[in-house]
Amino acid sequence: MLDHLIKGATVVDGTGAPGFVADVGIRDGRIAVVAESGKVAEEARSAEDASGLVLAPGFVDPHTHYDAQLFWDPYATPSLNHGVTTVAGGNCGFTLAPLNPEQPGDADYTRRMMSRVEGMSLVALEEGAPWTWNSFGDYLGALDGRIAVNAGFMVGHCALRRYVMGAEAVGGQPTPEQLDRMIGLLKDAMDAGAWGLSTTQSSSHSDGDGEPVASRHAKPAELIALSKAVGEYEGTQIEAIVAGCLDQFSDDEIELFVDMSAAAGRPLNWNVLTIDASVPERVPRQLEASERARKSGGRIVALTMPILTPMNMSLGTFCALNLIPGWGEILALPVDERIAKLRDPDVRGEMLRRADSKEAGVFRRLANFGRYVIGDTYSEANEGLSGRVVNDIAAERGQEPFECLVEICANDGLRTVLWPMPTDNDPDSWALRAETWNHEDVMLGGSDAGAHLDRMCGAPYTTRFIGDCLRGRKLLGLEEAVKMLTDDPAQLFGLRERGRIQEGWHADLVLFDPETIDAGKATLLHDLPGDSPRLDSKAIGITAVWVNGVEAMRGDVVSGAVPGKVLRSGADTRTVSTK
């Protein structure tokens, strides 16, 4: 007997093939039958009429930071709401494990680092996760049987360094013995099911003390040695970030990525490829790394987002503005001193010069302050400004845009929420995106779901992208769009029997209305441990989501079931060849 029968849906199976009307039966967590409508003879415990709806494989998000959130939110919201059934975590070199039991301060260091570098609430990290683990295997075991999505995790280079080198991980170089211990620790993690190694050398990544995170101090020889260890295990990967990911790679960065992938014989993915027609040289330069890797026996895959993800800014809290060269020191001052500096015309002039310079890289896109929209305000002086564009307010007041913005924020004690209008929302940029998405070494993703919780909400990229393909710009057909969200990431990670609707495969499924599927406007909630804030977005047009054959979500409401599985390398992933 079937557990559930979905009747008359338009099946878009993830392969890119044309959709077809069929009945799909689920039994014991698997897709038991895909047959012409009305031709399934086997009885089912439950059934539903899905006429006019689309049934697709569950979406796979290749870049998340749900490592901590899954402990207080096993549903990985809002990703599950938007049809995501499998998430990849442990990215950017940052994981919660392993923790050295002989260094009891490491858990606190890790929490403060994650709070700074990934924008996670420190209170939520302290109160929402148990922190009972030492080994990476212990960490995975703490999630077993308690999550509603499937989740796999890389092991973070920063955690490996901290475990072996202690405080010397920041600024120090490992001895040969320490490097051997690091490699052994990485192997222990992969024995336990880690998907491979993640690392960062990005200048944007600092720990809770404001120092460059541990992996940024690693030299190429260390990274190559760890990469070789990755290649000894089945179903593994590398994920890596360097400063050039934000704009354009240097020759040394390309060489490092190529050497790491070739040494492991495994794919290396990085994020995020920013596509902007006003910088036409960026995409060819970034994809040069992929071309060189193929010649050297490696493979480098760029993640790119298929939507424009709104990200709010603030002069009062740490955000992307702090990463503009020369801005971090000013924005780190106490509020009163910060306001005084920002009101100084000479200081503002130098800040604007640095923000619009080549050294600012991709952050140059944040420098047009006239195109910022005022979000939430907190003072009587700013009443009525929410939703207005700074250029308009500045013109009324006879001020320069940045001066105007500073005064608005100063009135709120720098609490004002700012929304920069995208600079790359033009037809040429969208045409370039559509062209780039079809490159064999480009994959959709980079949501950062689970991180930067009160600053951005990338998780809904799945529903917004499909809605755009169906009713918006229509840059792709539905079948190709679904393939990019399902089979493509499943194939990159070597997920066993996931990413397609096929008899015998795991029943990770999403049922949606093609006439309405979309994502709602991002809204701020205070539902994390300690009432900490996060941005959320309602799923529109998602009828139901099944994970391993169990209904996990219906009508944007979680079912309460936790059918997800911790996906372990080897057992749940196969090796993906780089040849």
H or E element in which residue 151 lies: strand 150-153
If one compares 332 and 480, the residue with the highest pLDDT of the two is 480
pLDDT confidence band for 453 (50 / 70 / 90): confident
Residue-wise DSSP of 31-93: EEEEESTT---S-BS-EEE-TT-EEEEPEEESSB-TTTHHHH-TTTTTTGGGTEEEEEES-TT
pLDDT at position 386:
94
The lowest-confidence range among 94-103, 141-150, 417-426 is 417-426
DSSP classification of residue 7: E
φ, ψ dihedrals at 107, nearest 5°: -65, -45
Mean of pLDDT over the chain: 96
What's the full length of the chain, in residues? 579
3-state secondary structure 153-174: ECEEHHHHHHHHHHHHHCCCCC
Q: Which two tokens stand for residue 34?
A: 């895909």
Confidence bin at 443 (pLDDT 50/70/90)? very high
Rounded-to-integer distance, Cα 508 and Cα 565, Å: 11
**Mean pLDDT across the stretch 499-528?**
95
- pLDDT (tens digit, 9 = 90+) per residue, 41-84? 999 999 999 999 999 999 999 999 999 999 999 999 999 999 99
Question: So what's the pLDDT on residue 215?
Answer: 98
- In this predicted structure, the answer to whether residue 6 has a pLDDT above a threshold of 90 is yes
Percentage of the chain with pLDDT > 90?
A: 91
Average pLDDT (493-522) is 97
The percent of the chain in helix, strand and coil, each rounded to the nearest 5, is 35, 20, 45
pLDDT at 454: 85
b (16+ CB within 10 A) / e for 52-76 = ebbbbbbbbbbbbbbbbbbbebbbb
Split at pLDDT 50, 70, 90, the class of 131 is very high
Give the pLDDT confidence score for residue 241 in this predicted structure: 97
| pLDDT of the residue at 483 | 98
Whole-number pLDDT of residue 577: 87
At residue 403 the predicted structure's pLDDT band, cuts being 50, 70 and 90, is very high
What per-residue confidence (pLDDT) applies to 58?
A: 98
Pick from 522, 429, 433: which is nearest to 481 by CA?
433
Q: What pLDDT is attached to residue 358? A: 84
What pLDDT sits at residue 320? 86
Q: Say if CB 124 and CB 181 are below 8 A apart.
A: no
Phi, psi angle pair for 558, to nearest 5°:
-70, 150
pLDDT in tens, 307-324: 998 888 999 988 889 889
- pLDDT tens-digit map of 255-264: 999 999 999 9
Predicted confidence (pLDDT) per residue in 135-149, tens digit: 999 999 999 999 999
| Paired sense of beta strands 518-519 and 418-420, if any | unpaired
Percent of the chain with pLDDT over 70: 100
Place of tokens 């697709």: 56
Q: Measured between alpha carbons, how far is 250 from 181 in angstroms, rounded to an integer?
A: 31
**How many whole angstroms separate alpha carbon 498 and alpha carbon 195?**
16
Give the residue with greater pLDDT, 358 vs 442. 442
Give the confidence band of 1 by pLDDT, cuts at 50, 70, 90: very high
Under the banding of pLDDT at 50, 70 and 90, the label for residue 455 is confident
Instruction: Report the C-alpha gap between 170 and 158 in whole angstroms.
Output: 9
Alpha carbon distance 371, 244 (integer Å): 26
What was the pLDDT predicted at 136? Answer: 98
The pLDDT-based confidence of 411 (bands split at 50, 70, 90) is: very high
Task: Look at residue 23 and tell me whether its pLDDT is greater than 90.
Answer: yes
Check residue 488 and give its pLDDT. Answer: 98
DSSP string, 267-291: EEEEE-----TTSTTHHHHHHHHHH
Query: Averaged over 274-302, what is the pLDDT?
Result: 96
**How does pLDDT run across 520-547, given as a tens digit for each residue?**
988 888 899 999 889 999 999 999 999 9
pLDDT at 579 over 80: no
pLDDT at residue number 422: 87
- pLDDT value of position 511: 98
Q: How does pLDDT run across 188-236, given as a tens digit for each residue?
A: 999 999 999 999 999 889 999 999 999 999 999 999 999 999 999 999 9
Local structure of 180: helix, strand or coil: helix
CB hemisphere CA count around 304 (13 angstroms):
25
